[in-house]
Structure 1
Amino acid sequence: MNGPLKRAAVACLVMFGLLMINVNYLQAVRAEDLRDDARNTRNFYARYEIERGRITAGDKVLAESVDTGDNRFRFQRRYPEGPMYAHVTGFFSPESESAIEQTEDQLLDGSSPDLLIRRSIDLFTNKASKGANVDLTLLPKAQEAAYNALRASGKRGAVVALDPKTGAILAMVSLPSYDPNKLSTTSKKDVFSLYDRLAEDKNQPLLNRAIDRTYPPGSTFKVVTAAAYLEDDDSRDPQTIVDAPQVLDLPNTTADLPNSGGAACGAGRVTLVFALERSCNTPFGKIGMELGYDAMVAQAEKFGVGGERLEIPMGVVASDFGKQEDDAALAQASIGQRSNRTTPLQMAMVAAGIANNGVVMKPYLVNKIADAEGGEVESAEPEEWTEAVSEETAAKLREMMVSVVQNGTATAAQINGVQVGGKTGTAETSEGQAPHAWFISFAPAEDPKVAVAVIVESGSAGTDASGGVTAAPIAKSVMEAVLNR
């Protein structure tokens, strides 16, 4: 071979080698990145080729795919109930998903390994593959009651309802909400523009306040402090006498802890149940200091505060009793203030644990999953999360919470013919801002079917907001819906 031909052959071999290296690099190293690149239009159109499965709550369809007749965008997501279920269903946009649409994405689009047999049968029978259907635990009448009651108030907030015996989530509402239909169109420009506006909205309509934000729980946390006190000595009961000064001196500070409005709590020594009925601050602040930080943290963790991270299947922001500081901080944390922060879901778990003889069940949102032909893929199995208190202590707490509704700050939660247990909370926020209004409850007390937590955020309830006035009627509506009252 002469020189020029040899050089040409070598050059060709080098270029061929470089080409093969590049091909292998793209296939083996960059394939996943390229496949997931937002500029890959094949991905964009492929999202709309599959008929995603339905999301349902019993017989009610919450999300479904509809045939558009457009060859480019064959199927588009539709949410018949819109904003009412938005924070649960989420949305399915040109490039992303949220909530159940995200956590169950592979099941909904049919690509999950759990659906391999179904895909194989469809391939063999020459049928178009469809995604699996996801049925949720939500009880539509409870969801509607929660949404309508909170919406009618015109306030920001969240509502969570649980089945105390199983942990099934019966209602989960966060307001303000948004319309997932508008974030699930095929127009990237329109979707991205709307998403940006919602993300910048000061009222944060995209935020699921039930699980993605923590708040000071205020006086609702006094049931946890009461639980720690009763667990510390099983001879104690609702009639045990506790100190209840008008003002509690906070050690090593110039500050003190008063009762709400500076009022007296009885004659200065009252029963534990009276202190809970009147939601006195001083006895529970004093109890927290006497028990000590470790005992209070341990009791909070038994209810789930600061424990293992929850997934329902969406991730839940961790609740936290607060770091160890001094006795003054401990007294404030023991009445649900200072650094004490919980999600509404967590406080629903507290109420549910007391209702369920001291056992907190793991909350869950997915009831069952079935393939497109109705074959079961998976079904929920209730699971114990923690044992918060003994059965005896739970009975004492239920008795006291029933008394709060019958004789105390939560009379607005009373339901004819039903014994309701509850605890109000008015959590102070920044100075000059309106407080958060809380209420946790369960019913019926003798055989609880539902536990509820309601929060109405500050800035929308008025400076005189209280859990008994603002939040309790919302919880009552939800409990009545579950109990068919």
Structure 2
Amino acid sequence: MKLIKKNLRLAVVVVCCLLASLIIYGAFSLGLSGNRWFSSSVNTALRKVKSDVLPGRIYDRNGIPLSGNDTQGNRLYHQDELTRRSLVHAVGMKDGTVKNGIETFMSYLLYAYDASYLSRLSSAFSGRMRSGYDLRLSLTHGLSRYIAEQFPQGKSGAVVVLNYRTGEILSLNSFPNFDPYAAQGVLSDPRKPFINNATQWRSAPGSTFKVITMAAALQHMPDALSKTFTCEGDYQVGDVVITDAGHVSHGELSLEKALVVSCNITFAKLALELGDEKLRQTAQAFGLDDHLLFSDLVVENSSYPAKNRIAKEVAWTGPGQSALGMTPLHMALVAAAIANDGVMMEPKLLLQAVDANREGKAQISPVIYKTPLTVAQSDILAKAMRQTVVSGTGRNAAVSGLTIAGKTGSAQIDGQELTNAWFIGFIEDKTLPYALCVVINDAGEGSRQAAPLAGKIFSYINSMR
């Protein structure tokens, strides 16, 4: 009998622990994924709320209306077409044509789903529709419009600009874009303009990834900065020959110089010397293979290639090729972490939510996402990226009067005639703490296509203050 009682007590303890674990897991999952579950198209509660509530308005950081309602309850957007196009992916559409835009992802706020029972009852008796929360975003409509104006016509890609101190996103441009007032046929367009390429499209980032490879060298090779590398113009690994643009031979060079001139051979050798596991560890410290469950937006997870790879695959990872998959937003976060003393902030879109009485519901507060680098390591990388813009492949991103640090990339993609042009970088100025990522697909070299556009954007940002 004593044994039975003891076993029963043990069983009760085990069951209680399991229940507690489920409750904790449920609360944790709700905190991380609540927005995703609530905004799902299969949420019948949301459909019911939408019929009873006038959604809140959406403003940019300066109070410029981006989305509102007419007297019949139809959704209205900014009066300027190019502005509407430039913001359609970030703001989204009420009908969900653009998935995971603010209109759908923050519908729990726009439709005031947390309204009290008394508020709902009062609305029902009065016959008036309740109003949702108005949202003020971190976006700047003028910058978003300027980027849309400057981006090469007919090309796909993305541009992300964010504050590397706070994580606030100033622009989240995706191309091709479309006018939300003329969205018929968008879902059947083979170019898929309804996809937000800044957050939902992944690709090998080309030589912009070299900053992560260099970070791995700083973390795992004590003599990384004193080592001398040799580039002879080509480097054979198995049945693959790795070359640099134009089959240039860089001769002997340091790690910093290799980044400045973007030497593929040096970074391929570096990847092999480090080994796949150490390079993977550093990449994962920057957020690759992580579940990017941010509070304000949905971002496709970035991925590092599978384990147990052969030498040629590891070698190609060093210069940013192989099976790497990263979004433009994530590469902007990589640049931001280097600029911010090694600290990567969580990206933010929501500055404030207020109800019909102008009382605050939510206020942004910066959140640290990861710390992939020490201050010393970030300083070394920033110095090399600064020199890249002064005398290396990033010269076309230079802006008079500003100190710019950056890295170009030209990602080779199967089936494309030209490479995808990449540029990541930031302004080294406490009063202008901004980082960006520019991607122009099937456009050619990052130094000739993405870097000049980045320079224009930096110049425009400078004119905003």
Q: TM-score range by the shorter chain?
A: 0.7 to 0.9
The answer as to whether partners of 1:419 and 1:446 remain within 8 angstroms in 2 is no
In 1, Cα distance between the equivalents of 2:75 and 2:211? 44
Corresponding residue number in structure 2 for 1:303: 286
Query: 99-108 vs 157-166, which deviates more?
Result: 99-108
In 2, Cα distance between the equivalents of 1:408 and 1:149? 24
In 2, Cα distance between the equivalents of 1:327 and 1:310? 33
Match of 2:92 among 76, 90, 93: 90
In 1, Cα distance between the equivalents of 2:364 and 2:416? 46
Change (3 A) 1:380 1:118: farther
Corresponding residue number in structure 1 for 2:66: 62
The answer as to whether partners of 2:174 and 2:198 remain within 8 angstroms in 1 is yes
The answer as to whether partners of 1:161 and 1:171 remain within 8 angstroms in 2 is yes
The answer as to whether partners of 2:89 and 2:101 remain within 8 angstroms in 1 is yes
In 2, Cα distance between the equivalents of 1:158 and 1:181? 22
Residue 418 in 1 paired to residue 415 in 2?
A: no
The answer as to whether partners of 1:89 and 1:99 remain within 8 angstroms in 2 is yes
Deviation at 1:259, TM superposition (A): 1.5
**Structure 1 residues 316-395: aligned runs within 5 Å:** 316-324=299-307, 325-395=309-379
Letter in 2 for 1:259: D
Change (3 A) 1:447 1:157: same
Deviation at 1:281, TM superposition (A): 0.3
In 2, Cα distance between the equivalents of 1:361 and 1:95? 29
Instruction: After superposition, give the CA deviation of every residue in 1:113-169 in whole Å (9 maximum; x if it has no partner).
Output: 2x328936965995752110111111223222322221x544211000111111111
The answer as to whether partners of 2:56 and 2:133 remain within 8 angstroms in 1 is yes
The answer as to whether partners of 2:100 and 2:298 remain within 8 angstroms in 1 is no
Match of 2:239 among 254, 267, 282: 254
- 3-state SS of paired residue (1:224): helix
**Structure 1 residues 24-423: aligned runs within 5 Å:** 47=50, 50-58=53-61, 59-68=63-72, 75-80=73-78, 81-93=83-95, 98-110=100-112, 112-113=113-114, 115-116=115-116, 119=119, 123=123, 128-150=129-151, 152-183=152-183, 194=184, 197-234=185-222, 236-237=224-225, 240-250=227-237, 253-265=238-250, 267=251, 269-311=252-294, 313-324=296-307, 325-423=309-407
In 1, Cα distance between the equivalents of 2:143 and 2:118? 34
Aligned residues: 417
- 3-state SS of paired residue (2:270): helix
Query: 139-148 vs 90-99, which deviates more?
Result: 90-99
**How many percent of aligned residue pairs carry the same amino acid?**
26
Deviation at 1:432, TM superposition (A): 5.4
In 1, Cα distance between the equivalents of 2:41 and 2:213? 51
In 2, Cα distance between the equivalents of 1:153 and 1:248? 37
The answer as to whether partners of 2:439 and 2:450 remain within 8 angstroms in 1 is yes
Letter in 2 for 1:285: A
Change (3 A) 1:403 1:46: closer
Change (3 A) 1:132 1:67: same
- 3-state SS of paired residue (1:148): helix
Give structure 1 stretches of 5+ with no counterpart.
1-35, 69-74, 184-193
- 3-state SS of paired residue (2:447): helix
Instruction: After superposition, give the CA deviation of every residue in 1:286-340 in whole Å (9 maximum; x if it has no partner).
Output: 0011111111111111111111323353321111121121121011011111101
Q: RMSD of the TM alignment (CA)?
A: 2.8
Q: Structure 2-normalised TM-score?
A: 0.83
Letter in 1 for 2:242: L
- 3-state SS of paired residue (2:108): helix
Instruction: After superposition, give the CA deviation of every residue in 1:63-89 in whole Å (9 maximum; x if it has no partner).
Output: 101113xxxxxx100111421110011
In 2, Cα distance between the equivalents of 1:332 and 1:298? 17
Corresponding residue number in structure 1 for 2:25: none
Corresponding residue number in structure 1 for 2:34: none
Which is greater in Rg? 1
